[in-house]
């Protein structure tokens, strides 16, 4: 059994007093009565109109009709109807007009339409009143029975998804529960992965302070990702200087872009695995090539691509990584996102144009110029990658090899 | 005790008031009907007299077919006229007979009018009396029961 959830219990009688509900119901019923009377009247008019139409249609059949011509209310004269095709019609406001019988029939039909529309609207009004009255009546009876309204907060059982889910379900009742469940599942999964990452990242330890500063300078998390990428490179260069704080910052920067591509949580795993493995590879490369070119960044990607399968296997063994690995992970994350062709590709594209006009020159860092190029390469690589598939990654590999030789 | 009795009396008077007022309304309505009848008769009489004076035999008029749609009608011979004598009967009269009949009917309606007026006046008087009694009770709430009884005669 779950712990008793917070909730409110309100007797219906307090919300709607029974007497008032009954009064309201009776008042509404009165209105209904009035409207019904009105409707009957209109219906009478309609019937009268129909009769008149029939009469006027038949009258022209004869030249004269023998009728009793009324003389006031109490007397009649025997007489004849003459000029049977001509009618004097009241248009309203004491205006009369002579019309033939056919025209009169048309006139009467138009009048009939007006009446029908009036009846229609009255009917709608009556229906509205009826629903109101029934609602009041049921409320009154419920209040009399002592019906009680109970509201409870919806508490999710799964602890990992509690925070997220409670926010979502706080206001809702039970509607859209299915959707919430799916969403909760995804969210809990992501949360688990995040936590794992954080744990592994913490085991790593040191980070370059510069990288952290970089991360802070830019507003978008995507930018910070690239920054962290550069920081990763720098970190590999000068590992000794890095402090733990920066690591944390970079960690956050990673996690944000990761979250940006929520919809495919599976991507993170390969990324993580890739990073672990490739970190070692990367560590070697930057040392050999101090100058950061576009090619270098591509070189990173090349070996990483090769080591993809290995990454999955070695994931379990790489529970404890050094900072280099972690930084590499960041780099690979950025690159692998490009490879995996997720939405992060898009942000990366955005990154690059932003990065270009802001070449940051820090005296403490060695690769400021190369950073810019790095972005450029990434942009081009991502562009090409989005368009075509496997052919592009091979390019950086070849270039790297060419450089090596 | 006194107050209770006063309340009862008040209630009674109110009930009387309601009943009396209802009667008054009914009586007034019936009297109005008679007034209308009188008017109609007088109009008819005037018309017939006009016809007589001008020796008009034929007549052209407009007949209401319903919902204010009129058609021309001709009365070739106005010597005979059918009159409503009540209970759904119409009697054929000549013009002169009709005039006589109308005169008789007018007298009868006058009598009816007087009767109704009498009834109405009576009801009005009773209502006035009840009002007066209520007033007395309200003005002197601490009077002796004997005196209040005297008033409620």
Structure confidence by residue, pLDDT tens digits, A247-258: 434 444 444 444
Query: Is 80 exceeded by the pLDDT of residue B95?
Result: yes
pLDDT on residue A215: 39
Q: Taking 50 as the threshold, does the pLDDT of residue A216 lie above it?
A: no
Which residue in the set A78, A84, A90 is minimally distant from B71, CB to CB? A84
Enclosing H/E stretch for B46? helix B2-54
3-state secondary structure at position B56: coil
Residue A43 scores a pLDDT above 90: yes
- For residues A155 and A81, the model is more confident at A81
Does the pLDDT of residue A357 top 60, yes or no? no
Distance from CA of B64 to the nearest CA of A (A): 9
Range from A195-209, A254-268, B137-151 that averages highest in pLDDT: A195-209
Tokens at residue A114, please? Answer: 């007006």
B68 pLDDT more than 50: yes
- The confidence score (pLDDT) of residue A50 equals 92
Interchain pair B71, A75: CB under 8 A = no
Residue A402's pLDDT is what?
55
Higher-scoring residue by pLDDT: A88, A251: A88
Alpha helices in A261-293 (DSSP H): 268-288
- pLDDT at residue A5, as a whole number: 63
Q: What is the ipTM of this complex?
A: 0.72
- pLDDT on residue A106: 93
Mean pLDDT lowest for which of A75-89, A194-208, A211-225, A369-383? A211-225
- Across chain A, what does the average pLDDT equal? 63
How close does chain A come to B32, measured CA to CA in Å?
Answer: 16
Nearest to A279 by CA among A247, A236, A246: A236
Phi and psi at A154, nearest 5°, equal -85, 115
> Cβ–Cβ of A69/B76 closer than 8 Å?
no
Residue of A nearest to B71 (CA): A87
Locate A222 and state its tokens.
């995507």
Bridge partners of A100? A86
For A99-140, give the DSSP string. EEHHHHHHHHHHHHHHHHHHHHHHHHHHHHHHHHHHHHHHHH
> φ, ψ for residue B66 (rounded to 5)?
130, 145
Could you say which DSSP state residue A16 is in? S
What is the band of A308 on the pLDDT scale with cuts at 50, 70, 90? very low
pTM exceeding 0.90: no
- What is the distance in angstroms between the Cα of B13 and the nearest Cα belonging to chain A? 29
Inter-chain touch B63–A69, beta carbons under 8 Å:
yes
Q: Return the pLDDT at A175.
A: 47
Cα first-last separation, chain A: 70
Q: Which band of pLDDT confidence, cut at 50, 70 and 90, is reported for residue B107?
A: very high
What is the C-alpha separation between A321 and A207, in angstroms, rounded? 13
B40, B43, B69 member nearest A87 (Cβ)? B69
Quickly state the pLDDT bin for A318 (edges 50, 70, 90): very low
Size of interface A-B (CB pairs under 8 A): 97
- The pLDDT value recorded for residue A252 is 41
**Tokens linked to A57:** 């249609």
pLDDT in tens, A368-391: 555 555 555 554 544 444 444 444
> In A, which residues are within 8 Å of B85 by CB distance?
none
Asked if A347 and A258 count as a contact pair (C-beta separation under 8 A), the reply is no
Residue B35 in contact with partner chain A when CB distance is under 8 A = no
**DSSP letter (8 states) at residue B72:** E
Q: How far is CA A182 from the centre of its chain?
A: 15
pLDDT score of A48: 92
Task: Look at A89 and B68 and tell me if their CB atoms are within 8 Å.
Answer: yes
Question: Which residue in A63, A235, A51, A267 sits closest to B67, CA to CA?
Answer: A51
More confident site: A168 or A126: A126
Backbone φ and ψ for A218, nearest 5 degrees, come out as -90, 150
The DSSP H or E segment spanning A87 is strand A86-92
Are B68 and A104 in contact by the 8 Å Cβ rule? The answer is no
pLDDT at A369: 53
Any A CB within 8 A of B87 CB: no
Question: Is the pLDDT assigned to residue A71 strictly greater than 60?
Answer: yes
Q: Is the pLDDT of residue A331 over 60?
A: no
Residue of B nearest to A70 (CA): B63
Task: Give me the helices (H) in A205-293, please.
Answer: 209-217, 221-237, 244-260, 268-288
The residue written with tokens 């409707």 in the block is: A39
Which positions in chain A touch B65 (Cβ < 8 Å)?
52, 55-56, 87
The pLDDT of B1-23, averaged and rounded, is 80
Q: Smallest CA–CA separation between B12 and chain A, in Å?
A: 28
Q: Are strands B69-75 and A86-92 parallel, antiparallel or unpaired?
A: antiparallel
Residue A201 pLDDT: 74
Substitution target in B71, B88, B100, B104 with the highest count of A β-carbons within 10 Å is: B71
Residue B108 Cα, gap to closest chain A Cα (Å): 16
Sign of the Cα torsion B60, B66, B69, B71 reads negative
Question: What's the gap in Å between the CA of B94 and the closest CA on chain A?
Answer: 11
The Cα–Cα gap between B37 and B31 comes to 10
Q: Return the pLDDT at A37.
A: 92
pLDDT of residue B112: 92
pLDDT, residue A223, reads: 45
B70 interaction partners in chain A (CB closer than 8 Å): 87-89, 96
User: Taking the C-alpha atoms of A375, A381, A386 and A390 in order, what is their torsion angle to the nearest 10 degrees?
Assistant: -150
């Amino acid at each position: 059994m779950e712990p008793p959830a917070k909730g409110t219990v309100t007797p219906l009688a307090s919300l709607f007093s029974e007497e008032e509900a009954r009064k309201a119901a009776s008042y509404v019923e009165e209105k209904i009565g009035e409207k019904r009377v009105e409707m009957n009247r209109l219906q009478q008019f309609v019937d009268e109109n129909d009769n008149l139409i029939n009469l006027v249609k038949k009258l022209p059949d004869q030249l004269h009709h023998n009728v009793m011509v009324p003389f006031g209310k109490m007397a009649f004269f025997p007489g004849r109807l003459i000029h049977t095709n001509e009618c004097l019609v009241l248009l309203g406001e004491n205006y009369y007009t002579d019309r033939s019988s056919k025209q009169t029939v048309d006139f009467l039909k138009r009048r009939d339409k007006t009446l029908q529309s009036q009846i229609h609207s009255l009917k709608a009004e009556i229906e509205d009143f009826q629903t109101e009255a029934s609602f009041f009546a049921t409320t009154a009876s419920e209040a009399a029975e002592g019906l009680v309204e109970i509201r409870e907060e919806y508490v999710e059982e799964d602890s990992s998804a509690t925070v997220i889910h409670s926010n979502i379900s706080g206001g809702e009742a039970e509607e859209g529960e299915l959707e919430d469940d799916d969403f909760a599942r995804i969210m809990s999964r992501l949360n688990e992965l995040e936590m794992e990452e954080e744990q592994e990242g913490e085991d790593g330890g040191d980070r370059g302070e510069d990288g952290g500063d970089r991360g802070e300078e830019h507003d978008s998390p995507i930018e910070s990702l690239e920054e962290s990428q550069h920081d990763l490179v720098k970190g590999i260069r000068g590992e000794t200087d890095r402090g733990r704080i920066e690591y944390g910052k970079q960690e956050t920067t990673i996690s944000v872009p990761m979250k940006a591509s929520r919809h495919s949580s599976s991507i993170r795993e390969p990324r993580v695995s890739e990073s672990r493995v490739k970190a070692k590879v990367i560590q070697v490369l930057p040392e050999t090539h101090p100058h950061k070119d576009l090619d270098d960044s591509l070189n990173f990607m090349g070996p990483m691509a090769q080591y993809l399968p290995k990454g999955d296997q070695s994931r379990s063994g790489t529970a404890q990584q050094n900072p280099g690995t972690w930084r590499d992970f960041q780099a690979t994350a950025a690159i692998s996102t490009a490879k995996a062709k997720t939405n992060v590709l898009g942000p990366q594209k955005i990154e690059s144009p932003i990065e270009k006009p802001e070449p940051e020159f820090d005296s403490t860092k060695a690769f400021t110029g190369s950073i810019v190029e790095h972005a450029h390469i990434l942009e081009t690589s991502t562009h090409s990658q989005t368009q075509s598939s496997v052919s592009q990654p091979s390019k950086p590999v070849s270039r790297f090899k060419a450089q090596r030789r | 005790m006194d107050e209770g009795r006063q309340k009862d009396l008040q209630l009674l008077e109110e009930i009387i008031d309601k009943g009396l007022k209802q009667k008054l309304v009914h009586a007034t309505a019936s009297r109005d009907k008679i007034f209308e009848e009188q008017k109609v008769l007088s109009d008819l009489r005037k018309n017939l007299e006009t016809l007589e004076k001008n020796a008009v035999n034929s007549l052209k008029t407009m007949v209401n077919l319903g919902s204010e749609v009129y058609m021309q009608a001709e009365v070739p011979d106005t010597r005979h006229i059918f009159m409503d004598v009540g209970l759904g009967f119409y009697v054929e009269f000549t013009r002169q007979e009709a005039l006589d009949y109308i005169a008789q009917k007018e007298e009868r309606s006058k009598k009816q009018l007087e009767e109704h007026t009498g009834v109405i006046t009576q009801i009005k008087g009773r209502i006035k009396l009840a009002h007066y009694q209520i007033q007395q009770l309200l003005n002197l709430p601490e009077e002796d029961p004997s005196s209040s009884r005297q008033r409620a005669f």
